[in-house]
C-alpha cells in the first residue's frame, strides 16, 4: 500500500512539474514577444494598453497576436516620434494601436451599373459589399463604401487594382487612379492608362497602386483624365456579377511604418 501511495505521489508531482514548466514556457514566450492566439477580448485582457508605459512595452516587444476572430496576425504600433520607442514606428499623424502585421483586410467590388464618363468625372458605380460578387473582409471598421467610393478607415499601406471596360467605339481615352482626400479632393495621380477604343468589342483599362500609403478616410478613385464621352462597365447590371466588365480591389498590406 505504502509503495503504491509513493508511486502515486511521484506521478502527481511529475504532473505538477509539467504544468509548472508549461506555465513558465508561456510566460517566457510572452516576454519574448512570441505569437499568441485568441479573441480581441482575450488579447486586451492579457496585454493592457491603459498606460503609456504598457503601450511602449508592447510596441518595443513587437508582441504578435493571432486574432482568431479576424484570422490575421496583429501587433501594437506607435508613432516613430514616441519617446522611448526602440523599433520602427508609424509615420507622423498615424494613431497608435493594434494593426495587422500583413495582408488580411480587403474589399472587392463589382460594378452595379454602366456609367457614361467624360473628362473630369469619377466612376462611382460599384455594388456594395454583399451584393453579387462584391465582398469585404474586415467590415466597416476597415472599409466604408459610400457614394460609390471606398474609404480606408485605418491608416496603412494598401494595394489597389482596378479594371474597367469601355464600350466599343472610336478614338482614345485616358483613365487615372486618383489619390483623394476625405472630402474628394484629388491629392495626386497614382497610375494612368491610355487605350484606343475598338469598334467591335469593349477595351479594358487597368490601373494599379502596388504599395501606397493611405490615411484614415482617404480613397483611391477612378478618374477620367481625358475622355470625350463613353460608357464604362457597359455590361454591368444591378446583380453585381459583371466582374468581366469592371472590378475594384483594395487590399491592406501592412502598417504605415516610416522607412528604414
Residue 43 phi, psi dihedral angles, 5° rounding: -60, -50
Residue 26 phi, psi dihedral angles, 5° rounding: -65, -40
Q: Nearest-CA neighbor of 245 among 130, 112, 107?
A: 112
> How confident is the chain (260 residues) per 10-residue block, as mean pLDDT?
53 54 52 72 93 95 94 96 96 96 96 95 94 94 94 97 94 96 94 95 94 97 95 80 82 96
**Euclidean distance between CA atoms 129 and 109, whole angstroms:** 7
**Euclidean distance between CA atoms 126 and 65, whole angstroms:** 34
Beta strands in the chain, from DSSP E residues, in sequence order = 36-38, 64-67, 73-77, 97-100, 106-109, 115-117, 122-123, 135-137, 143-146, 149-152, 156-166, 172-180, 186-196, 203-214, 219-226, 230-232, 246-254
Q: Are 67 and 73 in contact (CB under 8 A)?
A: yes
Residue 128 DSSP code? P
Structural domains of the chain, ranges and CATH numbers in brackets: 2-100 (no CATH), 106-254 (2.60.120.40)
Alpha-helical segments (H) within the chain: 2-32, 40-46, 52-61
11 Cβ neighbours under 8 A, 6+ residues apart: none
pLDDT in tens, 127-159: 999 998 999 999 999 999 998 899 999 999 999
**Euclidean distance between CA atoms 144 and 128, whole angstroms:** 10
Residue 219 phi, psi dihedral angles, 5° rounding: -145, 165
Phi-psi region of 62 (alpha: psi -120 to 50; beta: other; left: phi over 0): left
Tracing cell 508531482 back to the chain, one arrives at 13
Instruction: Please report the pLDDT score of residue 245 as a whole number.
Output: 85
Output Rg (C-alpha) for the chain, integer angstroms: 25
Instruction: Please report the pLDDT score of residue 6 as a whole number.
Output: 46
Instruction: Please report the pLDDT score of residue 21 as a whole number.
Output: 47
Amino acid at each position: 500500500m505504502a509503495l503504491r501511495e509513493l508511486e502515486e505521489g511521484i506521478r502527481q508531482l511529475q504532473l505538477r512539474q509539467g504544468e509548472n514548466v508549461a506555465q513558465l514556457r508561456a510566460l517566457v514566450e510572452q516576454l519574448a514577444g512570441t505569437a499568441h492566439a485568441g479573441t480581441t477580448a482575450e488579447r486586451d485582457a492579457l496585454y493592457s494598453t491603459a498606460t503609456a508605459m504598457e503601450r511602449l512595452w508592447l510596441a518595443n516587444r513587437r508582441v504578435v497576436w493571432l486574432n482568431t476572430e479576424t484570422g490575421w496576425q496583429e501587433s501594437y504600433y506607435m508613432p516613430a516620434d514616441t519617446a522611448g520607442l526602440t523599433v520602427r514606428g508609424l509615420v507622423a499623424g498615424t494613431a497608435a494601436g493594434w494593426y495587422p502585421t500583413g495582408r488580411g483586410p480587403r474589399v472587392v467590388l463589382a460594378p452595379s451599373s454602366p456609367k457614361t464618363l467624360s473628362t473630369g468625372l469619377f466612376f462611382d458605380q460599384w455594388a456594395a459589399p454583399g451584393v453579387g460578387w462584391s465582398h469585404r473582409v474586415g467590415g466597416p471598421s476597415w472599409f466604408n463604401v459610400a457614394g460609390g467610393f471606398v474609404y480606408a478607415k485605418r491608416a496603412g499601406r494598401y494595394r489597389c487594382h482596378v479594371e474597367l471596360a469601355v464600350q466599343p467605339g472610336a478614338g482614345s481615352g485616358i483613365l487615372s487612379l486618383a489619390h483623394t482626400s476625405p472630402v474628394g479632393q484629388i491629392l495626386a495621380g497614382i497610375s494612368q492608362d491610355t487605350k484606343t477604343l475598338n469598334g467591335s468589342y469593349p477595351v479594358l483599362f487597368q490601373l494599379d497602386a502596388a504599395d501606397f500609403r493611405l490615411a484614415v478616410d482617404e480613397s483611391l478613385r477612378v478618374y477620367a483624365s481625358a475622355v470625350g464621352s463613353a460608357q464604362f462597365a457597359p455590361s454591368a447590371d444591378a446583380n453585381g456579377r459583371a466582374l468581366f466588365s469592371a472590378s475594384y480591389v483594395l487590399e491592406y498590406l501592412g502598417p504605415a511604418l516610416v522607412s528604414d
